[in-house]
Amino acid sequence: QTMKKKYFVLRENTALGPARLEYYDSEKKFKAGALPKRSVTLSSCFSINNKCDARHRYTLALFTKDSCLTMVCDSEEEQQAWLQSMLDLRNLSADEDNSPVPLFDRIWPVTVKDKGVGSGRHLVPGQYRLCLTNTSLGLVRLNHEEPDITFQLDSIRRCGNKDKFFFMELGRGCKTGEGELWLQVEDEIIALNMHDNILR
């Protein structure tokens, strides 16, 4: 991961290639015809979202099965313009392929801890992405697109955050059984962001 300034180019779906986000070391290299440093096909993204980041305010994330490209913008207007353009192009690509577009409102990289329901037989501790919709939370393993396990929001009795941890108290109706699920994240700001968004 690098935080050096890059030159981003958003390309539409054409005969030369699918809709994609590319970046170059500089505008000069782009205009000189250099190959992109990285190219992400939008139809390969299972989610494109605003991202909570402790160091940068206006951040976007493109999640593919096995990686995440993070893009930092200079303003909220720029962030929303990039996000809407990428979502529009991805949705057009999905319509042409007849492939469904997953609808996640937020995604957070998390580590499931080996305690509470995280030590049970239904859930393997390790790295996941916690994916929020308006009705549920899903835990998606890296290199997968579908949740290993889904929790309906109304089955969560309470949730909270402490330091770099977010936790949920789950009811008996959950596949894991009742108990607490502890998730470790990068820092306490992200844990608080998870708490706020899931409560909302």
The tens digit of pLDDT for each residue in 175-197 reads 888 999 999 999 999 999 999 98
Joined together, the tokens standing for residue 52 give: 């909570």
Ramachandran quadrant class, 82 (left: phi over 0; alpha: psi -120 to 50; beta: rest)? alpha
Domain boundaries, the chain: 7-97, 106-199
User: What does residue 193 show for φ and ψ, rounded to 5 degrees?
Assistant: -60, -40
Does this chain's domain 7-97 share its CATH topology with 106-199? yes
The tens digit of pLDDT for each residue in 134-159 reads 899 999 998 888 888 999 998 899 99
d(CA 67, CA 48): 12
Joined together, the tokens standing for residue 32 give: 């000189």
Report how far Cα 139 is from the mean position of its chain's Cα atoms: 11
CATH architecture of 106-199: Roll (2.30)
Predicted TM-score (pTM) above 0.75:
yes
- The pLDDT of residue 151: 93
Best CATH choice for the domain 7-97 from the list 1.20.58.220, 2.30.29.30, 1.10.10.10, 2.30.300.10:
2.30.29.30
The tens digit of pLDDT for each residue in 54-65 reads 788 899 999 988
